[in-house]
Chains A and B, each alone.
Chain A
């Protein structure tokens, strides 16, 4: 179920240090989320597509992701053109679709896809292990990064355990349907997952203490940022500035 399909690769962006990529992605998302002008959104989408090209991502997986994300956006396309009154664009039966509603939905589609594409190209190209280490170096609260790394570490273990429970249930004839028995079975599966997880947590805690855990994770890779990382940081910084200029440039210059 859970796979980090974008984190494996050999592109420029895969090799860029997450300490550069994560702040760049955060800055880019923020600027695009706040943008209101078409020109800024178009430049942002173009920049995001360029990043995707640089990251050489598997296109099939990429389209599957975008499809799911745009499902939520489709809700707005279904509702806004009808519910916002304004200049009618075309009539479908008794309903009229307004230009204003279409424009609002269109802006959201551009922004949303721009941000997501950049996020995939910049953040999903690192494994969570490296992201966690980077968060630590970026001075995020230490307990939070521990929590992230531990959750990541045990996610796959717990998932396998759930798959095992489910297989066992299916072998015994469990077929999910809309009834109380199904809900009870799932609830018990989740409950037993919790109980086993609590027992496992105790063992993990003891093992960590035995190995000298005193509230710190030490990163094995303490590599400083290289020249390439700095060049990447400059390029990404320029990209964010470019989008910001399209949005607020006229205001700053006047």
Chain B
């Protein structure tokens, strides 16, 4: 969910920009130059994955995958998602310059929180890892919805109903993302376990 231009208030936009800058500074500091190609190509992957529409009943939703972004990239999720959002703005005009900060924060902060909370469990054996994967996927989408709702509420108290709709719209996506993150992690554990978080807090 991207919040369009021209809706949020100055303080909310400013706070989003500052928080995203801090997150990116953190992400880029950990990103050695030999990891840039990897992060860039991963970021392209997430961009493509976010274009997938999965059917749900008569409608379809598109996926965020920010839980998976967090698990695979750690703090580098901030710059990677910032870049993906810049490209979305240029290609599709979803979001723009003033909302770049807040929209990146809405996506990337839950990714990093999911990474910090669940990385230890995800590298354990399947009995632990798969439920953890579900929570990573579902929780990061939920947190994104809550952050988007908060951004609206801080702009204008009267947006409470819209904010409620935004969170409500995230609930089905939450479940699907949780399920898909389980399959994704199960697949990676079998095929390429070194893509999932390894020992230690270092960014990958």
Contact = CB atoms under 8 A, between A and B. Distances in A.
Interface string B143-169: 000000000000010101110010000
B96 A119 contact: yes
A194 B6 contact: no
A111 B55 CA distance: 33
Nearest to B180: A187
Contact of B37 (A26, A104, A110, A204): A204
Interface in B63-96: 63, 65, 68, 72, 79-80, 82-84, 86-87, 89-94, 96
B84 A151 contact: yes
A150 interface: yes
A148 B24 CA distance: 13
B93 A119 contact: yes
A120 B42 CA distance: 27
B38 A201 contact: yes
Interface stretch (A68-76, A87-95, A232-240): A68-76
Contacts of B158: 80, 83-84, 101, 104
16 contacts: A4-B90, A29-B5, A29-B98, A65-B92, A111-B6, A113-B6, A144-B83, A148-B83, A159-B51, A187-B179, A192-B191, A194-B45, A194-B184, A198-B38, A200-B41, A205-B34
A79 B162 contact: yes
Contacts of B84: 151
B188 interface: yes
B183 interface: yes
A2 B51 CA distance: 9
Contact of A201 (B2, B42, B52): B42
Interface string A161-184: 010000000000000111010111
B25 to A, nearest CB: 8
Nearest to A116: B93
Given A143-B33, A162-B48, 5 more contacts: A29-B98, A124-B93, A151-B40, A151-B41, A191-B184
Contacts of B162: 75-76, 79-80
Interface residues of A, number: 83
B49 interface: yes
B198 interface: no
Contact of A150 (B10, B41, B96, B179): B41
A113 B5 CA distance: 8
A8 interface: no
B40 A124 contact: no
Contact of B91 (A2, A26, A79, A214): A2
Contacts of A143: 28, 31, 33, 36, 79
A192 B192 CA distance: 10
A201 B76 CA distance: 15
A136 interface: no
B23 to A, nearest CB: 12
Contacts of A29: 5, 96-98
A60 interface: no
A55 interface: no
Given A32-B6, A124-B93, A201-B37, A115 B98 contact: yes
A25 B82 CA distance: 18
A131 interface: yes
Nearest to B72: A194
Given A146-B40, A148-B83, A177 B55 contact: yes
A62 to B, nearest CB: 10
Contact of B161 (A65, A79, A111): A79
A191 B38 contact: no
Nearest to A66: B93
Contact of A188 (B92, B176, B187): B187
Contacts of B48: 155, 158-159, 162, 193
Interface string B40-65: 11111101110110111100000101
